[in-house]
A = this chain, B = another copy of it.
Amino acid sequence: MSIRIETLDAFFNPKSVAIVGASSNFAKIGGRPVHNMKISGYGGNVYPVNPSAAEIQGLPAFPAVGDIPGPVDMAVIVVPMPHVEPALTACIDKGVKAAIVLSSGYAEISEDGARAQRRLADLGAEGGLRIMGPNCMGVMNTGTGMIATFISAIGDTGPETGTISVAAQSGAFGGHCFTLARERGLGLNLWATMGNQCDVEFSDCLAYMAQDPGTSVVLGYMEGVQDADKLIEALEIARAAEKPVVLMKVGRSEVGTAAAASHTASLTGSDAVFDALLRQYNVFRPHSIDEMFDVGYAFAGGQLPKSARTGIITVSGGVGVIMADAAEDAGLELPPLPETTQERMKALVPFAGTRNPLDVTAQFINDATLMETMYGALLEEGDYESAVCFLAGVGLNPLMMKELEPSLEAVRQRFPDQLHMLAILTTPERRARIQAMGYLCYEDPSRAIHALGVLARYSAALKRGPSAPPPDLPSGAPRLTAGTAINEVEGKRILAAAGVPAVPERIVGSSSEAAVAAEAAGFPVVMKIVSPDIRHKSEIGGVILDVASREAAETAYRDLLARAEAHAPDARIDGVLVAPMVSGGVETILGVVRDPVFGPVVMFGLGGVFVEVLKDVTFRVAPFGIDEARRMIREVRGYPMLQGVRGAPPADEEALADALAQLSAFAAANADVLETIDVNPFIVLPKGEGAVAVDALIAVRENAGA
């Protein structure tokens, strides 16, 4: 089922909310949502529902949802589990569009609970009622004061408003994000926790927030993927809206259940695939909560650097070097200031470092104008798209800040198109004032730089625009069918027809045919036994290389049959394969595996130790276009092999990228039956000469199915 944004609107922008199980005690779970709506100034109607009270927290209460006079957009269900189903039925009867079930006792508890949860889902689906939860902590829209949650962290003043939206599968994590945002002085916009996700999923909320104009960035938290297509749809929506997503996905699952015999299968873990998917959609995946908020805060500023060219200005030369080291890690560029600027700066502060970082030194304590002069020169003459300024503990010194703040304000106004960051220790009040000038403020300079690097990468991805679409399959591309065994020769023929080049080869049935075929292919040739029953040919001597003459081809034919007979007397023999030897080029491995979540996934790695020892591989969910294929190729550590080492010519990267994209299209088109493809080796010849599959195995499933 695809995402239906319009049905989610009632969760985030309801005009009226019923609270079923409302309590007069605002410290109770049933009391808190009522209380929170009141203190946050929600402008819609709030209808407490409680059969044993006429008034709750100053509002008229109703015995049941059906008794409410006007229309109800959304209901918050806080009754004990046995009463949830009747409450939802009442909501459906009333025409309520959305229900948040805070009640717990479902799939998180027991198999009985899971059954009850499925009943909720069925009820909602039949009655046209969208359900968030059960076992969730609710939803908020800080802009409208619609605070449908019982988290205690809300406190007595309600949340601060802002542009960061939070979608968290886990209520506890969502609650922690709320607290952390407040501790960091960050305003939230929408906030939702999905709990057990009987209906509305993480992907739904992500998509809703991504298309919401009041949201500048979505912070997401997820533990597993329920519906891969929906997640991809949500990521597409975020990409189309150019809305940055910072997505915490926890856990590193081991190799999935994908089958076994190929290299690729032993290396695919769904976490690696998930990671690749996020890269593909320019989603930032943090590794810690601090990092999540550092980067989310930077995105929330709403400004992106136009390039990675960064200027650093510092009051400590040493910290400048720490920042330069961090900039390298973050992929930022620190081009030097022009010589003439450097000379002028040296004239101002003779012992300053002036290249970039530019070191104001402690001299600005004696001469407060220095900061404005030097910061201005940095941006005026350095052609940087962002600046990071380290001010140490100056922010804690009111006298110094009194002199410095006007300088900071002046520089910011003079350079509105650049992104400005400060690394400064200061008080919350002064921090707020400096942020209002348009500076992003961090305490630690390395963390500022790290966040800037993420923004610069995102900005570059936006500039590149959408990736090329996956290629079309060639018109003659075969369709795989379940339950068939595909030998090596057929495998290569299928791939070639699907647009993945393979060595031309023939199967022969006699020594004289072998001689003719070898001559036609051009010497030297390679000859192999072909049998569906002999998988590891080389172990039985079933491959003969460098066959250099007609006579040798005849001998080789006879030898191969004899070896097959000796080692595998019962094997069905399809013949002997004759193919030209491919010499030169770089050995690579292309693969397809079936990920339990994302379906067919394409793997790429270099041959030899790169895959076997270093696990140096990368993945993409199929299908994808040639741009993604090019990026894939450059992600592996062994990439220099393709650029040419030890005097070798550069390899035909375009041919390789094309093959990967074609393979992905073929895998996607056959997702229902495909198990694995292992193209090993896939030889990439020197630039302009193409690339060829030398060996290939295609395995299909016994029965078709998703």
Flag whether A274 is at the interface (Cβ < 8 A). no
Stretch at the interface among A44-52, A312-320, A502-510: A312-320
Q: Looking at the complex, which one of B168, B221, B393, B612 makes contact with A645 (CB distance below 8 Å)?
A: B612
| Complex contact B396–A176 (CB within 8 A) | no
Q: Looking at the complex, which one of B248, B287, B318, B425 makes contact with A221 (CB distance below 8 Å)?
A: B318
| Complex contact A179–B393 (CB within 8 A) | yes
Q: Looking at the complex, which one of B110, B176, B251, B397 makes contact with A316 (CB distance below 8 Å)?
A: B176
Taking the closest CB of chain B, its distance from the CB of A347, in whole angstroms, is 13
- Chain B residues with Cβ under 8 A from A608's Cβ? 609
- Chain B residues with Cβ under 8 A from A362's Cβ? 171-172
Q: Looking at the complex, which one of B109, B316, B325, B365 makes contact with A170 (CB distance below 8 Å)?
A: B316
Known: A175-B393, A612-B645. A322 touches B289 (CB 8 A): yes
| Complex contact A172–B641 (CB within 8 A) | no
Q: Would you list which residues of chain A between 139 and 192 have a CB under 8 Å from chain B?
A: 152-153, 168-173, 175-176, 179-180, 183
Stretch at the interface among A69-77, A208-216, A443-451, A685-693: A443-451
Flag whether A93 is at the interface (Cβ < 8 A). no
Give chain A's interface residue range (CB within 8 Å of chain B).
Answer: 35 or more
- Chain B residues with Cβ under 8 A from A397's Cβ? 152-153
Q: Would you list which residues of chain A between 348 and 371 have a CB under 8 Å from chain B?
A: 350-351, 361-362, 365
- Chain B residues with Cβ under 8 A from A171's Cβ? 362
Known: A109-B350, A326-B288. A425 touches B179 (CB 8 A): yes
Q: Looking at the complex, which one of B170, B180, B319 makes contact with A173 (CB distance below 8 Å)?
A: B319
| Complex contact A319–B176 (CB within 8 A) | yes
| Complex contact A392–B172 (CB within 8 A) | yes
- Chain B residues with Cβ under 8 A from A317's Cβ? 170, 172
Q: Looking at the complex, which one of B170, B322, B613 makes contact with A638 (CB distance below 8 Å)?
A: B613
Copies held by the complex: 2
| Complex contact B393–A251 (CB within 8 A) | no
Flag whether A328 is at the interface (Cβ < 8 A). yes
CA distance in complex: A287, B221 (Å):
27
Flag whether A430 is at the interface (Cβ < 8 A). no
| Complex contact B393–A425 (CB within 8 A) | no
CA distance in complex: A362, B640 (Å):
51
Flag whether A536 is at the interface (Cβ < 8 A). no
Flag whether A321 is at the interface (Cβ < 8 A). yes
Q: Would you list which residues of chain A between 203 and 259 have a CB under 8 Å from chain B?
A: 221, 223, 248, 250-252
Taking the closest CB of chain B, its distance from the CB of A21, in whole angstroms, is 17
For the complex with contacts A170-B317, A612-B645, 13 further pairs of A-B residues with Cβ separation under 8 Å are A172-B319, A172-B362, A176-B392, A223-B321, A250-B321, A251-B321, A252-B325, A289-B446, A290-B447, A609-B609, A609-B610, A609-B638, A609-B641
